[in-house]
Amino acid sequence: MPRRERNKFVKRGQIIDILIEDYAFGGKGIGRIRNEHGEFVVFVPNTLPGQLVKTQIKKSSKKYAEGKLFEVLKPSEDEVDMPYQSIPGAPYINLPIEKQHQYKKQSTLELFKRIGKVVDIEDKFDEFVTSPNTFHYRNKMEYGFSAIGYDHEKKTDVDEFTLGFKKRGTWWCGDDLKKDSGLFDAEFENHLKDIKAYCVKTGLAPWHPPKREGFFRYFVVRKSYKTNQLLFNLVTTSYDLPQFDLDKFANYLVELFGDRVAGLLHTINDETGDRTIATTGTISLVYGEDKIVEELLDLNFEISMKSFFQTNPKCAEKLYTKVVDYALENKEAVDNTVVLDLFCGTGTIGQIIANKAKNTKIVGVDIVAAAIEDAKENAKRNNIEGLKFYAADVGKFLTEHPEYTNKIRTIILDPARAGIAPKTLKKIINLKAERLVYVSCNPATQARDTEQLMDAGYTIKKLSLVDQFPHTAHIETVVLFEKN
């Protein structure tokens, strides 16, 4: 057996300082090592051209390596100062938003050329849809407790009670959020240090990730932009629970936020896995209501702690408007027909189309039963008729419900990040719909599916990008496909 050739540039586990020179899709900065053996590329996620960064090599091959970002040693010349506390969830918050848009557009279109084989993608480009709020746009945040903190001066982890986010590049180390991060509700985040102080005073321990023990685990908050209310969920283990007064904690939150408090839930999670909602745990209402109401395009949606809902609701309105505009561009293919809304989640897109179309039957399908229950409830609340929802695997549904297959002219697709399974995509293609409106939170898998759709006789008519998550690498795409 031939010996594997040793990488002449880097080895796995090595920590190096490297200058980032270019930007690739998904927020991967490109650094280059040059020595007597030639030039070698290192991809480092969440970095920007012009930054000098410290990275640890996680994967290495003959052609390139991938690193994990530890620290930005020197910012890019493009970056500007911001009044917010820097957190790992917003790696580009110091980059002007126009520059962020430029990087996202350029790298996404390049992806469709390279993976989707769409050589004229620039000609198909319709619009870059920006978020109405660049800051404080999120309606949900999860803050973690940890018994291990980080001393930024000594650059080492220390034993201390923390409440905030994981220190970048670590799974065991917490980092206190001491003020507004610029992403969520400013009033709430400026009070997080007070909530931490309250918890410290109880004498109960925060979660210790390596030991997998402790009491406080997570504090999860949802916000309604319609009512400005906050819904809280305190996640703890059951150990020492009798020593913690949940009612007193609820009263403390009301002292801080007054009538903004919609309710407080308490989740028991004794599992060792790092999740806010345990599969075996319980969730109970301590105070107030267990839901908040949000509004999207004049429709009302009840959101529980477990519900899936768009994280940036104001931008989601713009996303859904674009999807509906593409769907209704040819109203003849929607009015008096059946529209399939596949991977429909809580059925928002289908409801909006049913509200705007004439005598259209919307059939929504999603594998998550709880999302389908929410979809049915929301349709009732909004008095929208002509909707039918099924909790089923999309591929299986298409096989088992032939009654819809010869009436379909328009299909809405909004799959998870993994894209559409090839067998399922083949079943969708076999429906011979004239038009597909494909929404994606992962353009890489959408570009992959594009090649299969083009082979089946579909072409891209239009493509828009929607910036749902400013200051991150994420971008959503809406593509209108038409059958040749």
pLDDT in the model for residue 1: 45
pLDDT, average across residues 72-84: 95
Catalytic positions: 441
Cβ atoms of residues 293 and 224 within 8 Å? yes
Mean pLDDT of 446-461: 96
Average pLDDT over residues 312-326: 95
100 is in an annotated binding site: no
The average pLDDT across 41-59 equals: 94
| Region class of 439: left (phi > 0), else alpha (psi between -120 and 50), else beta | beta
Known binding residue 343? Answer is yes
What pLDDT is recorded for position 387? 92
Q: Per-residue pLDDT averaged across 111-128, rounded?
A: 96
243 annotated as ligand-binding: no
Residue 5's pLDDT band, with cuts at 50, 70 and 90, is: low
Q: Confirm whether residue 157 is marked as ligand binding.
A: no
Residue 6's pLDDT is what? 65
Average pLDDT over residues 42-68: 93
Q: Closest Cα to residue 68, out of 34, 40, 27, 99?
A: 27
391 confidence band (pLDDT: 50, 70, 90): very high
- Please state, in angstroms and rounded to a whole number, the distance separating the CA atoms of residues 125 and 127: 6
Q: Do the Cβ atoms of 306 and 291 come closer than 8 Å? A: no
Across the chain, mean pLDDT equals: 93
Res 484 pLDDT > 90: no
Position 90 scores a pLDDT of: 95
Pick from 248-262, 284-298, 369-383, 387-401 the range whose average pLDDT is largest.
Answer: 248-262
String of DSSP letters for 201-270: HTTPPBPBTTTTB-SEEEEEEEE-TTT--EEEEEEE-STTGGGS-HHHHHHHHHHHHGGGEEEEEEEE--
Q: What is the mean pLDDT of residues 113-140?
A: 96
Residue where the block lists tokens 């980080």: 150
User: Does the pLDDT of residue 3 top 60, yes or no?
Assistant: no
Tell the residue number behind the tokens 């999302």, with chain if given: 371
